[in-house]
A and B are shown apart, each in its own frame.
Chain A
């Protein structure tokens, strides 16, 4: 069965960096686009970034453009989110999600359990 397990969250000071990882299993990782979505405490969902199945295309939400970088390593079946210049309002649970595989990109068919990032001095 599809499993997505995020790691790398924690408490970090404003302005610092953090890298999140998402270990994928139960499917052929290299065949699917992957996304990151976050949820601030008590708030709604915010889509952050997508990376194509082959890593050739990446798109970002305006709120993280230029600060966050999505990447993948298909040899390790792992998705990453490098977060630089963290701000207090980046505090959230970060979810790794797998695309459905249908031609229309963006149906978030599988979700990890999330990892909490707290940005605080």
Chain B
């Protein structure tokens, strides 16, 4: 089972700032089968990024993903008020799929 570690646990930023979230895997994630999800309080998660860097349908281009192997990142270049949420990375492509523990992006 691939264990995902996310850092930092909490990121305190102001609207308009840049956010960089990290996701590290315990072993190499094949074919960059790494996704990112956003979850707001009381809501279901929403797919943002898959294949490490492909944006899902309807996701604004201020969100971008990068990385390969064991190190991946999600960048939000200019935080909008609606971007303050918890972000999870996930590896897929083989079972069991696993999620990271999440990074909370909060308003500073």
Name A residues whose Cβ lies closer than 8 Å to a Cβ of B: 44-47, 50, 59-62, 95, 100, 102, 104-109, 111-114
- Which residues of B come within 8 Å of A, CB atoms? 1, 31, 33, 35, 37, 39, 43-47, 50-51, 56, 88, 90, 92-102
Contact present for A45 and B47 (CB under 8 Å) = no
- CB B38 to nearest CB in A, in angstroms, measures 11
Given contacts A104-B51, A108-B90, A111-B46, 7 further A-B contacts (CB under 8 A): A45-B99, A47-B90, A50-B95, A50-B97, A100-B50, A107-B50, A108-B92
Main secondary structure of the interface of A (DSSP, over half): loop
Q: How far is the CB of B37 from chain A (nearest CB, A)?
A: 7
Residues of chain B contacted by A106 (CB below 8 angstroms): 33, 35, 90, 92-95, 97
Q: Return chain B residues, CB-CB under 8 Å to A44.
A: 88, 99-102
Closest A residue to B102 by beta carbon equals: A44
**8 Å CB contact of A59 from B35, B45, B95:** B95
Q: Is the CB of B44 within 8 A of A107?
A: no
11 A/B residue pairs, CB under 8 Å, sorted by A: A45-B99, A47-B90, A100-B47, A106-B33, A106-B90, A106-B92, A107-B35, A107-B50, A108-B45, A111-B45, A114-B44
